[in-house]
Amino acid sequence: MEQKQSLSALADKLSAEGPGVKTIKLRQLLEPHREAFGVRPTKMLFPPVEIGSVTLVDQIVLLSLMDFCTPKRIVEIGTFLGYTTRMLLENSSDAIIYSVDLPQGDSTTKDGFDLVRVLNDGDYNDRYLTQQRELIGETYLADLPESILARLRLIRQDSTTLNYADDIGRIDFAFIDGGHDLETVAADTACIRQAVKNGVIVWHDYSSGIHSGVTEFLSNEDNCSEVFHVAGSLCAFEIRKQA
């Protein structure tokens, strides 16, 4: 199926009545995915163990939605250690992936972190993740072959200062997983929505027990006319279809 067809078919199947985030089952993504793409192998590392990355269900949600977009350009906000970056790269054959994270030296905290607080306090958790990225780097990208890395563009800039539509152009698939405070989520979403006209935007950390920014942002009905949350995951997504 062509990109527009399979994405439209998914949108029709999920079409939601009324405002607010709708919770769907993973099966509601997997069945249309099977219909559109058959059984296809995926390439993934075992799920990461580091605080701040994705779960196995999140991985499947991301890959399913990415397939529906047959993307040429992907934006990921929040490279962190490169786990999801690698997964997106290895499962998309010809997409250019722009992965955004803060510049080195942006971490304001030089001290050690209290790991109990990291798991309970969203802003503190965000500061911890930024420090971890600075200390460890994009370790999951280290052994990728040059032929795959050639499709990666690492952008080291505060995501809220970027203009994706002007600087990158049309984006087919976007994964928002950078700063999780309400202000940053709102700014990232507004700018990404300008650039994704036909495609999918996924937010990570919806319904998270640590971060409340994405849940709060999407709970405002003005911000989400057609947003779905996949039960058992931390992913919420929106299918964007230009009229």
Ligand X SMILES: C[S@@+](CC[C@H](N)C(=O)[O-])C[C@H]1O[C@@H](n2cnc3c(N)ncnc32)[C@H](O)[C@@H]1O
Residues that bind ligand X (CB under 6 A): 52-54, 77-78, 80-81, 83-84, 100-102, 126, 129-130, 133, 158-160, 177-179, 184
Q: For ligand X, which is the closer residue by CB, 15 or 157?
A: 157
Q: For ligand X, which is the closer residue by CB, 53 or 91?
A: 53
CB of 170 to ligand X, least distance (A): 21
List the one residue out of 150, 151, 180 whose CA is nearest residue 78. 180
Q: For ligand X, which is the closer residue by CB, 101 or 238?
A: 101
DSSP for the chain, written as a single string: --HHHHHHHHHHHH---SSSPEEE-THHHHHHHHHHH-S-----PSPP-STTS--HHHHHHHHHHHHHH--SEEEEE--TTSHHHHHHHHT-SS-EEEEEEPPTT-----S---HHHHTT-HHHHHHHHHHHHHHH-SGGGTT--HHHHTTEEEEES-GGG--HHHHT---SEEEE-S--SHHHHHHHHHHHHHH-SSEEEEEE-TT-SS--HHHHHHHSGGG-SSEEEETTSSEEEEEE---
Q: For ligand X, which is the closer residue by CB, 10 or 141?
A: 141
Half-sphere exposure of 213 (CA within 13 A, CB side): 23
Q: For ligand X, which is the closer residue by CB, 102 or 144?
A: 102
Q: For ligand X, which is the closer residue by CB, 216 or 226?
A: 216
Q: For ligand X, which is the closer residue by CB, 32 or 52?
A: 52
List the one residue out of 26, 58, 65, 60 whose CA is nearest residue 43. 60
CB of 13 to ligand X, least distance (A): 27
**Do the Cβ atoms of 71 and 7 come closer than 8 Å?**
no
